[in-house]
Structure 1
């Protein structure tokens, strides 16, 4: 398939492409953001898409610098974590990585939503771009390996 790149620069476009990326996922979702505050992981549409993905056997890996925004504003996502804890892995970055400020979602090694800086909504949605996907897959693995448990401050943490 031919690679497709769609730039975006608004919150609504980011949410639209993120929803498309998550809906396309069947096996793996790898998410990185400093705090996921702008991802709306707790809204009902996101909950439905993530439950479909996880119920179908998908595996979700999520890494952030801090988990407080999720705990404060995404109770539905916290319930999802409890219900599918066997399919969700959460990690917190070590202090040496806290300067990382980009944000991305990688689905099944074929779909990628990336924001160049987490404080802004300028980014790109890429589909079937093997080079972009490989770059961000390697980046996620590096971040994942340099991270550890402790994202959430509740007993429900995976």
Structure 2
């Protein structure tokens, strides 16, 4: 078993690097909560490469779940990510958080229920990356599950079937 590790970061560049690192190690599932994905770097070539690798190797229907406050930035400024979500619609989904969850302000990514990358507040770059599957990770995963069930399914990445 891996020894728990924790590393803090103070810039958006370090945050994006920690997200890519977590994606590189993900084998089965990734859940993401973010207001709009603007600071994640998932639209970057490295982000798309890791998400595509994950989606192509995982056999789970819930490989990638993304919960957002708003999909506007994703729809307007993320053509690579939108294309990936469409191509892998069988194992990815995006939802918009309901009004009750809009006050939730701690963005995070959890990979394989064991690797957490989180910013402490959505307006600041400061946060941590951790491989300890207890405490904060379990709390955020539970909170995500609750908000996911109550969220509204988004059409982002959904094939039109025309």
Aligned residues: 156
Q: Does 1:131 align with 2:135?
A: yes
| Consecutive unaligned residues in structure 1, runs of 5 or more | none
User: Aligned residue for 1:140?
Assistant: 144
Distance 2:98 2:133 in 1: 30
- Describe the shift of the 1:124–1:14 C-alpha distance in structure 2 as closer, same or farther (beyond 3 A): same
User: Aligned residue for 2:40?
Assistant: 39
- Shift of the alpha carbon at 1:39? 1.1
RMSD: 1.6
| Consecutive unaligned residues in structure 2, runs of 5 or more | none
Q: Does 1:79 align with 2:83?
A: yes
- Shift of the alpha carbon at 1:120? 0.9
Classify the secondary structure of the residue corresponding to 2:135.
helix
TM-score, structure 2 as length reference: 0.90
TM-score, structure 1 as length reference: 0.92
- Describe the shift of the 1:11–1:31 C-alpha distance in structure 2 as closer, same or farther (beyond 3 A): same
